[in-house]
Structure 1
Amino acid sequence: MATPQRLQTVRRIQRAMATAYAGLGAWCLLHSYSVVALGFTPRYVAMSNETTHLLMRCFGAQAMTCGLVLGTSEMTAFSFTAFGLAMIPYIGWNFWFSGVGPARGMINSLMWLDFFGNVFFMGGSLWCAKVLKEGANKKH
Protein backbone atom coordinates (compact mmCIF):
# COMPACT_ATOMS: atom_id res chain seq x y z
CA MET A 1 0.00 0.00 0.00
CA ALA A 2 1.23 3.49 -0.83
CA THR A 3 1.24 5.06 2.63
CA PRO A 4 2.58 8.58 3.17
CA GLN A 5 5.71 7.03 4.70
CA ARG A 6 6.34 4.88 1.62
CA LEU A 7 5.77 7.87 -0.66
CA GLN A 8 8.27 9.81 1.42
CA THR A 9 10.74 6.91 1.05
CA VAL A 10 10.25 7.10 -2.73
CA ARG A 11 11.34 10.74 -2.66
CA ARG A 12 14.31 9.91 -0.43
CA ILE A 13 15.45 7.20 -2.84
CA GLN A 14 15.03 9.63 -5.73
CA ARG A 15 17.14 12.25 -3.93
CA ALA A 16 19.80 9.67 -3.03
CA MET A 17 20.07 8.54 -6.65
CA ALA A 18 20.20 12.15 -7.86
CA THR A 19 22.90 13.02 -5.34
CA ALA A 20 24.96 9.95 -6.27
CA TYR A 21 24.74 10.71 -9.98
CA ALA A 22 25.56 14.39 -9.59
CA GLY A 23 28.31 13.82 -7.03
CA LEU A 24 30.07 10.99 -8.84
CA GLY A 25 29.61 12.84 -12.13
CA ALA A 26 31.28 15.90 -10.65
CA TRP A 27 34.16 13.71 -9.50
CA CYS A 28 34.59 12.33 -13.05
CA LEU A 29 34.38 15.84 -14.50
CA LEU A 30 36.71 17.57 -12.07
CA HIS A 31 39.18 14.79 -11.15
CA SER A 32 39.24 12.40 -14.08
CA TYR A 33 42.81 11.33 -13.34
CA SER A 34 41.90 9.97 -9.90
CA VAL A 35 38.83 8.18 -11.30
CA VAL A 36 40.94 6.45 -13.95
CA ALA A 37 43.65 5.60 -11.40
CA LEU A 38 41.17 4.14 -8.93
CA GLY A 39 38.82 2.38 -11.34
CA PHE A 40 41.07 0.73 -13.91
CA THR A 41 43.83 -1.84 -13.69
CA PRO A 42 47.42 -0.59 -13.92
CA ARG A 43 47.74 -1.87 -17.51
CA TYR A 44 44.91 0.38 -18.66
CA VAL A 45 45.90 3.32 -16.47
CA ALA A 46 49.30 3.25 -18.18
CA MET A 47 47.58 3.43 -21.59
CA SER A 48 45.36 6.37 -20.64
CA ASN A 49 45.94 9.70 -22.37
CA GLU A 50 44.27 13.08 -22.76
CA THR A 51 41.48 11.54 -24.86
CA THR A 52 40.75 9.07 -22.05
CA HIS A 53 40.40 11.94 -19.61
CA LEU A 54 38.30 14.00 -21.99
CA LEU A 55 35.90 11.08 -22.37
CA MET A 56 35.82 10.59 -18.59
CA ARG A 57 34.97 14.28 -18.17
CA CYS A 58 32.21 13.99 -20.81
CA PHE A 59 30.83 10.99 -18.93
CA GLY A 60 30.92 13.01 -15.72
CA ALA A 61 29.09 15.95 -17.29
CA GLN A 62 26.36 13.61 -18.54
CA ALA A 63 26.07 12.00 -15.11
CA MET A 64 25.75 15.43 -13.50
CA THR A 65 22.98 16.31 -15.96
CA CYS A 66 21.22 13.04 -15.16
CA GLY A 67 21.50 13.81 -11.44
CA LEU A 68 20.09 17.30 -11.98
CA VAL A 69 17.13 16.00 -13.98
CA LEU A 70 16.52 13.16 -11.54
CA GLY A 71 16.69 15.53 -8.58
CA THR A 72 14.35 18.17 -9.99
CA SER A 73 11.75 16.05 -11.79
CA GLU A 74 8.45 14.74 -10.55
CA MET A 75 9.06 11.07 -11.27
CA THR A 76 6.12 8.87 -12.18
CA ALA A 77 5.77 5.11 -12.01
CA PHE A 78 6.55 4.98 -15.73
CA SER A 79 9.67 7.15 -15.46
CA PHE A 80 10.98 5.13 -12.49
CA THR A 81 10.39 1.93 -14.45
CA ALA A 82 12.21 3.33 -17.49
CA PHE A 83 15.09 4.55 -15.33
CA GLY A 84 15.36 1.19 -13.58
CA LEU A 85 15.39 -0.75 -16.84
CA ALA A 86 17.97 1.68 -18.24
CA MET A 87 20.41 0.31 -15.64
CA ILE A 88 20.60 -3.07 -17.41
CA PRO A 89 23.33 -2.00 -19.89
CA TYR A 90 25.40 -0.55 -17.05
CA ILE A 91 25.17 -3.78 -15.09
CA GLY A 92 26.15 -5.62 -18.26
CA TRP A 93 29.10 -3.26 -18.70
CA ASN A 94 30.35 -4.14 -15.22
CA PHE A 95 30.32 -7.85 -16.06
CA TRP A 96 31.73 -7.45 -19.57
CA PHE A 97 34.75 -5.43 -18.53
CA SER A 98 35.48 -7.15 -15.25
CA GLY A 99 35.10 -10.84 -15.81
CA VAL A 100 33.35 -12.35 -18.78
CA GLY A 101 34.01 -10.30 -21.91
CA PRO A 102 37.08 -9.95 -24.08
CA ALA A 103 38.07 -6.80 -22.18
CA ARG A 104 38.07 -8.59 -18.83
CA GLY A 105 40.66 -7.20 -16.53
CA MET A 106 40.10 -3.62 -17.65
CA ILE A 107 38.45 -2.46 -14.45
CA ASN A 108 39.65 -3.38 -11.00
CA SER A 109 37.77 -4.87 -8.06
CA LEU A 110 36.88 -1.42 -6.70
CA MET A 111 34.53 -1.05 -9.67
CA TRP A 112 32.28 -3.70 -8.14
CA LEU A 113 30.97 -0.78 -6.09
CA ASP A 114 29.68 0.58 -9.40
CA PHE A 115 27.95 -2.74 -10.03
CA PHE A 116 26.22 -2.66 -6.64
CA GLY A 117 25.28 0.99 -7.16
CA ASN A 118 23.68 0.14 -10.50
CA VAL A 119 21.78 -2.75 -8.90
CA PHE A 120 20.57 -0.33 -6.20
CA PHE A 121 19.48 2.17 -8.87
CA MET A 122 17.60 -0.54 -10.74
CA GLY A 123 16.01 -2.14 -7.68
CA GLY A 124 15.23 1.18 -6.02
CA SER A 125 13.68 2.57 -9.19
CA LEU A 126 11.50 -0.50 -9.72
CA TRP A 127 10.40 -0.46 -6.08
CA CYS A 128 9.54 3.24 -6.35
CA ALA A 129 7.54 2.53 -9.51
CA LYS A 130 5.62 -0.19 -7.67
CA VAL A 131 4.79 2.14 -4.78
CA LEU A 132 3.65 4.92 -7.12
CA LYS A 133 1.49 2.47 -9.11
CA GLU A 134 -0.14 1.34 -5.89
CA GLY A 135 -0.85 4.97 -5.02
CA ALA A 136 -2.37 5.63 -8.45
CA ASN A 137 -4.55 2.51 -8.24
CA LYS A 138 -5.75 3.53 -4.77
CA LYS A 139 -6.98 6.90 -6.11
CA HIS A 140 -9.15 5.27 -8.77
Structure 2
Amino acid sequence: MTTPQRLETVRRLQTAMATAYTTMGAWCLLHPPSVLALGFTPTYLAMCNTTTSLFVRCFGAQAMTCGLVLGTSTMTPFSFTAFGVAMVPYLMWNYWFGIGPGRGMVTSLMWMDFVGNVFFGAGSLYCAKLLREQEEEEEDKRKAK
Protein backbone atom coordinates (compact mmCIF):
# COMPACT_ATOMS: atom_id res chain seq x y z
CA MET A 1 0.00 0.00 0.00
CA THR A 2 1.39 3.41 -0.91
CA THR A 3 1.55 6.30 1.54
CA PRO A 4 -1.39 8.16 -0.06
CA GLN A 5 -3.46 4.96 0.06
CA ARG A 6 -2.54 4.44 3.73
CA LEU A 7 -3.50 7.98 4.63
CA GLU A 8 -6.78 7.76 2.71
CA THR A 9 -7.65 4.49 4.44
CA VAL A 10 -6.88 6.02 7.84
CA ARG A 11 -8.96 9.09 6.99
CA ARG A 12 -11.92 6.98 5.91
CA LEU A 13 -11.81 4.72 8.96
CA GLN A 14 -11.41 7.69 11.29
CA THR A 15 -14.37 9.44 9.65
CA ALA A 16 -16.51 6.28 9.87
CA MET A 17 -15.71 5.85 13.57
CA ALA A 18 -16.34 9.53 14.30
CA THR A 19 -19.64 9.47 12.42
CA ALA A 20 -20.80 6.34 14.23
CA TYR A 21 -19.92 7.76 17.66
CA THR A 22 -21.56 11.11 16.94
CA THR A 23 -24.69 9.58 15.42
CA MET A 24 -25.26 7.02 18.16
CA GLY A 25 -24.51 9.65 20.79
CA ALA A 26 -27.04 12.02 19.24
CA TRP A 27 -29.64 9.26 19.30
CA CYS A 28 -29.03 8.66 23.04
CA LEU A 29 -29.11 12.39 23.74
CA LEU A 30 -32.20 13.22 21.74
CA HIS A 31 -34.39 10.13 22.22
CA PRO A 32 -33.38 8.06 25.26
CA PRO A 33 -36.76 6.26 25.55
CA SER A 34 -36.18 4.44 22.26
CA VAL A 35 -32.61 3.54 23.25
CA LEU A 36 -33.84 2.13 26.56
CA ALA A 37 -36.73 0.26 24.91
CA LEU A 38 -34.42 -1.38 22.37
CA GLY A 39 -31.62 -2.04 24.83
CA PHE A 40 -33.19 -3.45 27.97
CA THR A 41 -35.42 -6.45 28.55
CA PRO A 42 -38.94 -5.73 29.86
CA THR A 43 -37.98 -6.75 33.42
CA TYR A 44 -35.27 -4.12 33.62
CA LEU A 45 -37.07 -1.58 31.46
CA ALA A 46 -39.78 -1.45 34.13
CA MET A 47 -37.14 -0.09 36.55
CA CYS A 48 -36.12 2.77 34.22
CA ASN A 49 -37.13 6.27 35.28
CA THR A 50 -36.20 9.91 34.67
CA THR A 51 -32.78 9.37 36.24
CA THR A 52 -32.09 6.51 33.84
CA SER A 53 -33.13 8.74 30.96
CA LEU A 54 -30.79 11.47 32.22
CA PHE A 55 -27.90 8.98 32.38
CA VAL A 56 -28.59 7.86 28.80
CA ARG A 57 -28.59 11.51 27.69
CA CYS A 58 -25.28 12.10 29.51
CA PHE A 59 -23.81 9.01 27.85
CA GLY A 60 -25.01 10.34 24.49
CA ALA A 61 -23.43 13.75 25.09
CA GLN A 62 -20.12 12.08 25.96
CA ALA A 63 -20.30 9.85 22.88
CA MET A 64 -20.99 12.89 20.69
CA THR A 65 -18.01 14.69 22.22
CA CYS A 66 -15.82 11.65 21.59
CA GLY A 67 -17.03 11.47 17.99
CA LEU A 68 -16.43 15.16 17.39
CA VAL A 69 -12.93 14.98 18.86
CA LEU A 70 -12.15 11.83 16.87
CA GLY A 71 -13.45 13.44 13.70
CA THR A 72 -11.50 16.68 14.06
CA SER A 73 -8.21 15.49 15.54
CA THR A 74 -5.00 14.59 13.82
CA MET A 75 -4.46 11.15 15.26
CA THR A 76 -1.03 9.58 15.73
CA PRO A 77 -0.16 5.89 15.92
CA PHE A 78 -0.08 6.24 19.73
CA SER A 79 -3.49 7.94 19.94
CA PHE A 80 -5.08 5.33 17.67
CA THR A 81 -3.52 2.56 19.76
CA ALA A 82 -4.79 4.16 22.98
CA PHE A 83 -8.27 4.51 21.47
CA GLY A 84 -8.24 0.88 20.35
CA VAL A 85 -7.09 -0.40 23.73
CA ALA A 86 -9.77 1.77 25.39
CA MET A 87 -12.37 -0.47 23.74
CA VAL A 88 -11.40 -3.42 25.95
CA PRO A 89 -13.69 -2.42 28.87
CA TYR A 90 -16.59 -2.08 26.43
CA LEU A 91 -15.92 -5.58 25.12
CA MET A 92 -15.85 -6.82 28.71
CA TRP A 93 -19.22 -5.11 29.25
CA ASN A 94 -20.53 -6.87 26.14
CA TYR A 95 -19.34 -10.19 27.54
CA TRP A 96 -20.73 -9.57 31.02
CA PHE A 97 -24.22 -8.56 29.90
CA GLY A 98 -24.33 -10.56 26.67
CA ILE A 99 -23.29 -14.06 27.68
CA GLY A 100 -21.85 -13.67 31.18
CA PRO A 101 -23.37 -13.30 34.64
CA GLY A 102 -25.37 -10.19 33.70
CA ARG A 103 -27.17 -11.97 30.89
CA GLY A 104 -30.87 -11.21 30.72
CA MET A 105 -30.59 -7.50 31.45
CA VAL A 106 -30.12 -6.35 27.87
CA THR A 107 -31.86 -7.48 24.70
CA SER A 108 -30.42 -9.70 22.00
CA LEU A 109 -29.41 -6.55 20.12
CA MET A 110 -26.25 -6.65 22.27
CA TRP A 111 -24.47 -8.32 19.36
CA MET A 112 -24.68 -5.01 17.46
CA ASP A 113 -22.87 -3.19 20.27
CA PHE A 114 -20.24 -5.94 20.31
CA VAL A 115 -19.68 -5.64 16.55
CA GLY A 116 -19.39 -1.87 16.86
CA ASN A 117 -16.85 -2.13 19.67
CA VAL A 118 -14.80 -4.66 17.69
CA PHE A 119 -14.91 -2.27 14.70
CA PHE A 120 -13.73 0.65 16.85
CA GLY A 121 -10.96 -1.39 18.48
CA ALA A 122 -9.70 -3.20 15.40
CA GLY A 123 -10.13 -0.15 13.17
CA SER A 124 -8.11 1.99 15.55
CA LEU A 125 -5.31 -0.59 15.80
CA TYR A 126 -5.28 -0.97 12.01
CA CYS A 127 -5.02 2.81 11.58
CA ALA A 128 -2.14 2.87 14.06
CA LYS A 129 -0.39 0.14 12.05
CA LEU A 130 -0.83 2.06 8.78
CA LEU A 131 0.48 5.29 10.29
CA ARG A 132 3.48 3.45 11.77
CA GLU A 133 4.24 1.98 8.34
CA GLN A 134 4.05 5.46 6.84
CA GLU A 135 6.44 6.84 9.49
CA GLU A 136 8.88 3.97 8.87
CA GLU A 137 8.73 4.57 5.12
CA GLU A 138 9.48 8.27 5.61
CA GLU A 139 12.34 7.42 7.98
CA ASP A 140 13.81 5.00 5.42
CA LYS A 141 13.63 7.75 2.75
CA ARG A 142 15.42 10.20 5.07
CA LYS A 143 18.16 7.66 5.80
CA ALA A 144 18.60 6.95 2.09
CA LYS A 145 19.40 10.59 1.35
1:75 Cα deviation after fit: 0.5
Letter in 1 for 2:117: N
Task: Please name the residue that 1:121 is paired with.
Answer: 120
What's the C-alpha RMSD, in Å, of the aligned pairs?
0.9
1:98-137 alignment, distance < 5 Å: 98-101=98-101, 103-137=102-136
Q: Does 1:89 pair with 2:89? A: yes
Matches within 5 A, 1:1-140: 1-101=1-101, 103-140=102-139
* Matched-pair identity in %: 68
Q: Which stretches of structure 1, 4 residues or more, deviate above 3 A after TM superposition?
A: none
Aligned to 1:109, what secondary structure does the other structure show? coil
CA contact (8 A) 2:77 2:127 kept: yes
TM-score by length of 2: 0.93
Q: Partner residue of 2:143? A: none
Give distance in 2, aligned partners of 1:31 and 1:10: 31
Aligned equivalents of 2:73, 2:45: Cα separation in 1: 37
Asked whether the equivalents of residues 25 and 60 of structure 2 are also in contact (C-alpha less than 8 Å), the reply is: yes
Q: Gaps (5+ residues) in structure 2?
A: 140-145
Q: Runs of 5+ in structure 1 lacking a partner?
A: none
Number of aligned residue pairs: 139
Q: TM-score, normalised by structure 1?
A: 0.96
Q: Which has the larger radius of gyration?
A: 2
